[in-house]
């Protein structure tokens, strides 16, 4: 699971949306930081101060552009990951190991996220840094288009296309890993803290709606393509790349920030906390290290099974790709319905209580997959229910995990904190996928069911360190019932 992903997924009409939850901001200036001016050698006058102001209109425009960017990007990522790409590789002859690599490579390269935080601290623009990174990575996916044509003409084998696909995944994810921490740091600056729950809940609900509509349509397009599913995937891949590149141009409507000004807000002690030029203040934050322990165990536990649910449906249960995308659409719909609910609730009670309570449901979910089989009950009832449950619960996990990191990290260390968190999640996630692959292969036909049970148990264990993490504005678990149901106590007093 990537932290970027710890978020799953754009039409021009969205730029005209007036229901973005920014109307509650009353100040003319919503983002105002006093930053010491960086003096060049030879300049006199000591340290002066100037103010970087992000006005309310700029915040409004930035958040609308951020929403549009994310929705277009959702179309791109829904094609180069998930069921569509898994089905593409399976059609070419890939097995559990290749599907495991498909999931582990994006996780493992997240180890490079601290390098991205290091590089952004030596650049003068969040906008141009992230644009160059993501544009170059998305263009590389064009390599697969002629490869699909060569396979269809018999010039190369399916296994060679599988290998090429894994190479493209590796190279593009290495490049993108350098941009993920800076991108998260930039968005953390642009979204006011008091609106994060509501804004990200609103934005993510639009992304879920996009996935709900787009993924099944793409699945049907691939299945019904006249030249076959492989050529069908090639066609939707071209469409996805166009959407992915289009999303990047929305960044030019977002307020740019000079990372050097944020860097200047650190104290002398913080500035001296460098290891080979990389900010190591994060390693001195005991509260963050507790959260990092939770994140590491959680990502390991989740990724033991995460890449294999689609494989289980496509291969073990023999379900058609178009049906699998419908199931995924149901999950996106549940995600859409619950995101704004979780966002408002997170603003009310904090992110940690939600992560603990919903985390229990998420831990139980993979165990419930053991009850599925090749029968009508599973096809019509059990699998739709599991996807609805997964979509609803993961809406809270993705939202609150991202907000927790934003809340724990100081403003001028956002990129560093996201970089280290991404590295931890990436390494542990990759190890989890590798372990899951070996378990699935080692136990033979029932290997995937063992993987699901093992993942559920580990997810429960992962919640223990989260109990000790401190979060501002987070209420105690013991007070949760009173906050959520204040009228219940009043009724008891009256009686």
Which pLDDT belongs to residue 35?
33
- Take residue 20 and report the two structure tokens written for it: 């973005």
pLDDT, tens only, 397-415: 998 998 888 877 776 677 7
At residue 15, the 3 state secondary structure works out as helix
* Phi and psi, residue 120, nearest 5°: -65, -30
pLDDT, tens only, 268-306: 344 444 444 456 677 888 888 999 999 999 999 999 998
What is the C-alpha separation between 442 and 458, in angstroms, rounded?
19
What is the C-alpha separation between 133 and 138, in angstroms, rounded?
9
Length of the chain: 495
DSSP state of 467: T
Q: Which pLDDT band, with edges at 50, 70 and 90, does 26 fall under? A: very low
Beta carbons of 345 and 485 less than 8 angstroms apart: no
Which pLDDT belongs to residue 141?
97
Beta carbons of 349 and 208 less than 8 angstroms apart: no
Q: Assign residue 27 a region: left if phi > 0, alpha if psi is -120 to 50, beta otherwise?
A: beta
* Phi and psi, residue 493, nearest 5°: -65, -35
Q: Which pLDDT band, with edges at 50, 70 and 90, does 333 fall under? A: confident
At residue 34, the 3 state secondary structure works out as strand
Q: Among 60-74, 153-167, 420-434, where is mean pLDDT lowest?
A: 420-434
CATH 1.20.1250.20 holds for 12-266+276-478? yes
Sequence-distant (6+) residues with CB within 8 A of 411 are 33, 188, 189, 262, 265
Q: Quick one: the chain helix, strand, coil %, rounded to 5?
A: 75, 5, 20
What is the C-alpha separation between 93 and 318, in angstroms, rounded?
15
pLDDT, tens only, 254-270: 999 888 877 655 443 44
CA-wise closest residue to 264 among 29, 43, 52, 419: 52
In the block, residue with structure tokens 């609910």: 341
Beta carbons of 130 and 189 less than 8 angstroms apart: no
What is the C-alpha separation between 328 and 323, in angstroms, rounded?
9
């Amino acid at each position: 699971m990537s932290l970027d992903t710890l978020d799953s997924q754009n039409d021009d009409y969205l730029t005209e949306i007036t229901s973005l939850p920014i109307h509650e901001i009353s100040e003319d200036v919503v983002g105002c930081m006093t930053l010491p001016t960086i003096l060049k050698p030879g300049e006199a006058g000591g340290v002066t101060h100037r103010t970087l102001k992000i006005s309310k209109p700029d915040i409004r425009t930035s958040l609308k552009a951020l929403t549009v960017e994310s929705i277009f990007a959702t179309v791109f990522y829904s094609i180069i990951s998930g069921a569509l790409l898994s089905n593409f590789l399976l059609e070419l002859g890939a097995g559990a190991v290749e599907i495991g690599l498909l999931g582990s490579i994006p996780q493992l390269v997240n180890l490079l996220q601290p390098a991205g935080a290091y590089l952004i601290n030596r650049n003068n623009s969040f906008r141009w840094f992230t644009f160059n990174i993501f544009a170059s990575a998305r263009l590389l996916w064009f390599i697969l288009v002629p490869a699909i044509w060569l396979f269809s003409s018999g010039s190369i084998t399916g296994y060679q296309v599988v290998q090429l696909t894994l190479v493209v995944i590796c190279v593009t994810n290495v490049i993108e890993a350098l941009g993920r921490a800076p991108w998260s740091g930039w968005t953390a600056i642009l979204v006011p803290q008091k609106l994060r729950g509501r804004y990200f809940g609103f934005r993510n609900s639009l992304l879920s709606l996009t996935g709900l509509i787009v993924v099944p349509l793409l699945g049907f397009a691939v299945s019904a393509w006249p030249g076959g599913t492989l050529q069908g995937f090639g066609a939707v891949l071209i469409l996805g790349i166009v959407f992915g590149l289009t999303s990047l141009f929305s960044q030019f409507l977002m307020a740019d920030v000079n990372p050097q000004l944020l860097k200047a807000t650190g104290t002398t002690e913080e500035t001296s906390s460098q290891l080979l030029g990389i900010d190591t203040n994060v390693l001195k934050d005991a509260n963050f290290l507790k959260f990092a322990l939770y994140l590491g165990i959680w990502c390991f536990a989740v990724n033991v099974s995460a890449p294999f649910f689609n494989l289980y449906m496509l291969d073990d249960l023999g379900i058609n790709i178009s049906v699998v995308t419908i199931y995924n659409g149901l999950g996106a719909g549940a995600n859409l319905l619950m995101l704004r609910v979780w966002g408002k609730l997170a603003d009310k009670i904090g992110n940690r209580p939600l992560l603990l309570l919903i985390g229990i449901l998420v831990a139980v979910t993979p165990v419930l997959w053991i009850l599925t089989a090749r029968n009508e009950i599973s096809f019509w009832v059990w699998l739709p229910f599991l996807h609805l449950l997964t979509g609803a619960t993961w809406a809270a996990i993705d939202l609150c995990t991202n907000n927790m990191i934003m809340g724990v990290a100081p403003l001028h260390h956002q990129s560093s904190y996201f970089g280290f968190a991404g590295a931890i999640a990436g390494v542990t996630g990759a190890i989890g996928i590798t372990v899951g692959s070996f378990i699935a292969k080692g136990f033979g036909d029932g290997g995937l069911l063992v993987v699901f049970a093992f993942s559920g148990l580990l997810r429960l264990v992962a919640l223990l360190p989260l109990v000790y993490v401190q979060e501002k504005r987070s209420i105690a678990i013991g007070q949760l019932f009173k906050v959520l149901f204040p009228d219940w106590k009043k009724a008891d007093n009256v009686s």
